[in-house]
Amino acid sequence: MRTREGGLIVDEGAVIARVRAGEAEAYAALVRAHTAVALRAAVACGAGAEAEDVVQQAFFKAYRSLGRFQEGAAFRPWLLRIVVNETRNTVRSAGRQRAVAGREAELLGGEPLIPDGADPAVAVEEDERRRRLLAALDGLGEDHRQVVIHRYLLELDETETAEALGWPRGTVKSRLSRALKKLGLALTGEGGDEHDGRRAPG
Per-run averaged pLDDT (10 residues), the chain, 202 residues: 54 92 93 93 89 95 93 92 92 59 53 51 71 85 92 90 94 95 84 43 44
Residue-level pLDDT at 123: 61
Residue-level pLDDT at 94: 61
Residue-level pLDDT at 200: 41
Residue-level pLDDT at 158: 93
Task: Give the alpha-carbon dihedral of 48, 94, 149, 132, to 10 degrees.
Answer: -60
Rounded Cα distance between 28 and 115, Å, is 34
Please check whether residue 46 is in contact with residue 106, taking contact to mean a CB–CB distance below 8 angstroms.
no
Among 13, 92, 9, 86, which residue's Cα sits nearest to residue 53? 86
Q: How far apart are the first and last CA of the chain?
A: 31
Please check whether residue 147 is in contact with residue 176, taking contact to mean a CB–CB distance below 8 angstroms.
yes
Rounded Cα distance between 129 and 135, Å, is 10
Task: Give the alpha-carbon dihedral of 157, 160, 162, 163, to 10 degrees.
Answer: 180
Residue-level pLDDT at 71: 87
Residue-level pLDDT at 187: 85
Residue 86 CB contacts under 8 Å (≥ 6 apart), including other chains: 42, 54, 57, 58, 61
Residue-level pLDDT at 202: 47
Residue-level pLDDT at 38: 95
DSSP 151: I
Residue-level pLDDT at 132: 84
In the chain, the domains with their CATH numbers are 1-96 (1.10.1740.10), 112-202 (1.10.10.10)
Residue-level pLDDT at 10: 73
**CB neighbours of residue 62 within 10 Å:** 22
Residue-level pLDDT at 134: 82
Among 113, 154, 178, which residue's Cα sits nearest to residue 165? 154
**Beta bridge pairs of residue 5:** 8
